Amino acid sequence: MLIVVSGPSGVGKGTVISRLLERQPELAKSVSCTTRGPRPGEQDGVDYHFVSVDRFRQMVAAGEFLEYARVHQDLWYGTPIAPVEAALAAGTDIALEIDYQGARSVRQAFGNRAALVFIAPPSWDALVARLQGRSTESADATAKRLASAKREFRHIGMFEYVVVNDELERAVIELESILIAERCRLESIDWQELQRQLSSEA
């Protein structure tokens, strides 16, 4: 299954997902392509694949994205399709940290095989404080992310789950609980095979 994690920049998606990956080592994480430059400490191929606009366009033309979208007015972000297909073929669950436009595309492509989770801040002021406290963006880039945040909030209704990232540990446990519950859905398992086995043993 795919677990899609959306929410405004600065809400703590990256922090919550990295804690989830520590707890669920068999969960894979999709590494997106972006046309934005790396922040201090971000590693190419780990946090994102940092690509030029030309390269991004080539990848779009070559059909290399599962989904892609323009975010923060002038930046492009996209999910490479090959690692997602490889993970699913291997039976590995995969987390996608993408915006609401990407979440909508994934829902259309994967239906119930994707769980859509929105990470919300405890308040607007807390979001602003986290974004500013991270100190990774210029004032202009921060303003664009706050404008994007308002757009994200207008689309909360399309998600299936909301996790309020107030206390970090609780948010991580809630996201992990969603993952575990989704794995137990009838459509996530080969229930007909299970039924056959149980019936032949009865």
| Least spacing, CB of residue 151 vs ligand ADP, in Å | 15
Nearest to residue 32, comparing CAs of 76, 86, 89? 76
Nearer to ligand ADP, 64 or 137 (CB): 137
* Residue 174, contacted partner among ligand 5GP, ligand ADP, none, CB below 5-8 A by kind: none
Q: Among 2, 6, 9, 51, which residue interacts with ligand ADP (rule: CB under 6 A)?
A: 9
Nearer to ligand 5GP, 110 or 188 (CB): 110
Site for ligand ADP in 132-171 (CB under 6 A): 133-134, 165, 168, 171
181, two tokens: 């519950």
| Least spacing, CB of residue 8 vs ligand ADP, in Å | 7
Site for ligand ADP in 81-140 (CB under 6 A): 130, 133-134
Report whether 109 contacts 65 (CB < 8 A): no
Tally Cβ neighbours within 10 Å of residue 192.
Answer: 8
| Least spacing, CB of residue 36 vs ligand 5GP, in Å | 5
Helix (H, G, I), strand (E, B) or coil at 73: coil
Nearer to ligand 5GP, 81 or 164 (CB): 81
Residue 102 interacting with ligand 5GP (CB under 6 A) = yes
Nearest to residue 163, comparing CAs of 2, 12, 10? 12
Residue 13 interacting with ligand ADP (CB under 6 A) = yes
Residue 15 interacting with ligand ADP (CB under 6 A) = yes
Q: Any idea of the CA torsion for 124, 128, 134, 139, to the nearest 10 degrees? A: 150
* Residue 172, contacted partner among ligand ADP, ligand 5GP, none, CB below 5-8 A by kind: none
Give Cα 79 distance to the centre of its chain.
10
Between the two ends of the chain, the Cα-to-Cα distance in Å is 31
φ, ψ of residue 23 to 5 degrees: the values are: -80, -25
Q: How far apart are CA 16 and CA 117, in angstroms?
A: 12
| Least spacing, CB of residue 186 vs ligand 5GP, in Å | 29
